Every structure is written in structure tokens, then in C-alpha cells.
């Protein structure tokens, strides 16, 4: 066995007072191609399959610094969350550069004890306006998780697109379109570089009126 004769301990330095600020720093330092969107993993409790996870898009932070997620009310994940709002969320960031002095590291951001809270209807138009045309059309005319006749669906799509290009009217948000934010009991940040032992920093919310966070290093 070839053993690499080096080892060190990763260290999460200069952590800000709030976990969402650290997440923002990591997203800013994440090396992605320009067109690549940030994804995250969302696990819910499903009556048929038990724990069920899937990849979804990271949409940003709410005004109160919670991670936002967008879905449709007819999906299984929406039904799961409606029945049990406790969720698991992880974001994997394989190449993060936080500054020139530091070599790129791999990070995982994990929400622990996250509860999904549906956003009020008044906030949804702003999210809908940010969707790509393809996403809006999918939201309007594609069923989720149902078998489809591909050719029929393609004709429906092409006709819808054609009408949109002729009418030049913004597409209206369907009533099934919705969004959640995740209120977490704790945020867990894991950082590791090559030949390193990972460092983890956990933020836990203190039971104070100001909602301050306490952070502590946790062994991996
Ligand atoms: C990169 C990527 C991003 C996705 N983003 C979303 C999303 O933001 N919202 C969503 O409902 N589904 C999204 N999906 C689809 C989900 O992974 C999943 O297939 C869908 O939500 C149906 O899952 P369910 O049957 O568990 O409800 C995304 C898939 C991929 C691969």
C-alpha cells in the first residue's frame, strides 16, 4: 500500500458570526463554470419509500438568512414536506478558494434539524420572474413524475413556445408554483483539503430574543 507520508488538520478560520454569511463566502469562493447553477441535496420523509432525497437548486437566502427552495405543489417532495416539514439539506462545494493564501478546499454545508416553512404568496412573483423561460414553461405544462408520450409532450412544448414568442406576454405564475425556506436548528460546515483531517464548525442558535448564533469546532 502506498501511504502518502503527510497529514495535517484543516482549520476553519475567521468564521463570521452568522452561518448564512459563511455560506455566502463559500458560494462566492466556489469555482464553477459561469453557467453552472448551485445545487443542493434535499431529503424528506416519504410515506411509501421512507427517506427520499433528490438534487434541487439552491435559490439564495431569504430576508432572514434561511436557504430558499422552489418546487411545485403537485410533486412528491411538496407532499412530503406538507406532511412532515422536517428536512435534511446538504450543499457540496468541491472546490472553494477563500483567498490566495489558502489552497482550494472541499466543503460540505449541512442543515441539521431543518424545518421547511412555505413562503407567503406575496413573495412568489419575485421568484417566478427570475425563472428561465424553459423553467417557466416546464412549470406550466409538464406533469411531474408521470409517464408521458415524448412526441406529444414535445408538440405541446413547441406550440406553447411559439405562442409565447408571438404574444410577447409574460407567462403567469401557476398556482402550483411555490417556495420554502429552511429554518435550521444548527448549521454544520465541514472543510477538508488534500491529505487533511477535516475541520467542522457548527453553528447553533441561542435561545435569545436576538437569535444570536454560537459556533464551535466539532471533531469529524
Ligand atoms: C440540477 C437539478 C436541479 C433541480 N432543481 C429542482 C428544484 O429546484 N426544485 C424541484 O422541485 N426539483 C428540482 N430538480 C428535480 C428533483 O431532483 C426531482 O427530480 C423532482 O423534484 C421530483 O422529485 P420528487 O418525486 O421527490 O418530488 C432538480 C434536479 C436537478 C438534477
pLDDT digits (tens, 9 = 90+) for 188-197: 999 999 999 9
Ligand 1 lined by 130 (C-beta under 6 Å): no
The mean pLDDT value of the chain amounts to 93
pLDDT beyond 80 at 2: no
> The domain that contains 199 carries what CATH number?
2.30.110.10
- What range does the domain containing 78 cover? 8-131+175-218
State the pLDDT confidence band at 1, using cuts at 50, 70 and 90.
low
Residue 159 falls inside a structural domain: no
Residue 33 falls inside a structural domain: yes
Ligand 1 lined by 79 (C-beta under 6 Å): no
Residue 194 falls inside a structural domain: yes
Ligand 1 lined by 25 (C-beta under 6 Å): no
Residue 115 falls inside a structural domain: yes
pLDDT beyond 90 at 4: no
Residue 152 falls inside a structural domain: no
Residue 197 falls inside a structural domain: yes
Distances (CA, A) of 118 to 34, 67, 72, 73: 30, 12, 12, 11
Number of folded domains that form the chain? 1
Please tell me the predicted confidence (pLDDT) of residue 31.
Answer: 83
Q: Which residues sit opposite 199 in a β-bridge?
A: 191
Q: What is the pLDDT of residues 58-106, one digit of tens each?
A: 999 999 999 999 999 999 999 999 999 999 999 999 999 998 788 899 9
Ligand 1 lined by 178 (C-beta under 6 Å): no
Q: How far is the first Cα of the chain from the last one, in angstroms, to the nearest whole number?
A: 24
Residue 168 falls inside a structural domain: no
pLDDT beyond 80 at 30: yes
Please tell me the predicted confidence (pLDDT) of residue 192.
Answer: 97
Amino acid at each position: 500500500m502506498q501511504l502518502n507520508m503527510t497529514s495535517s488538520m484543516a482549520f476553519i478560520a475567521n468564521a463570521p458570526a452568522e452561518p448564512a454569511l459563511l455560506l455566502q463566502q463559500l458560494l462566492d469562493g466556489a469555482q464553477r463554470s459561469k453557467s453552472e447553477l448551485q445545487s443542493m441535496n434535499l431529503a424528506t420523509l416519504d410515506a411509501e419509500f421512507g427517506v427520499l432525497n433528490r438534487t434541487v437548486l439552491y435559490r439564495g437566502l431569504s430576508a432572514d438568512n434561511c436557504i430558499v427552495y422552489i418546487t411545485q405543489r403537485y410533486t412528491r417532495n411538496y407532499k412530503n414536506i406538507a406532511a412532515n416539514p422536517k428536512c435534511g439539506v446538504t450543499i457540496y462545494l468541491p472546490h472553494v478558494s477563500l483567498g490566495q493564501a489558502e489552497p482550494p478546499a472541499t466543503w460540505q454545508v449541512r442543515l441539521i434539524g431543518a424545518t421547511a416553512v412555505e413562503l407567503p404568496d406575496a413573495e412568489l412573483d419575485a421568484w417566478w420572474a427570475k425563472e428561465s423561460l424553459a423553467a417557466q414553461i416546464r412549470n406550466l405544462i409538464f406533469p411531474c413524475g408521470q409517464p408521458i408520450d415524448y412526441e406529444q409532450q414535445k408538440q405541446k412544448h413547441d406550440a406553447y413556445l411559439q405562442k409565447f414568442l408571438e404574444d410577447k406576454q409574460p407567462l403567469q405564475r401557476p398556482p402550483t408554483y411555490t417556495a420554502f425556506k429552511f429554518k435550521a436548528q444548527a448549521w454544520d460546515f465541514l472543510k477538508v483539503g488534500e491529505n487533511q483531517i477535516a475541520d467542522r464548525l457548527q453553528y447553533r442558535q441561542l435561545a435569545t430574543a436576538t437569535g444570536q448564533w454560537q459556533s464551535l469546532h466539532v471533531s469529524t
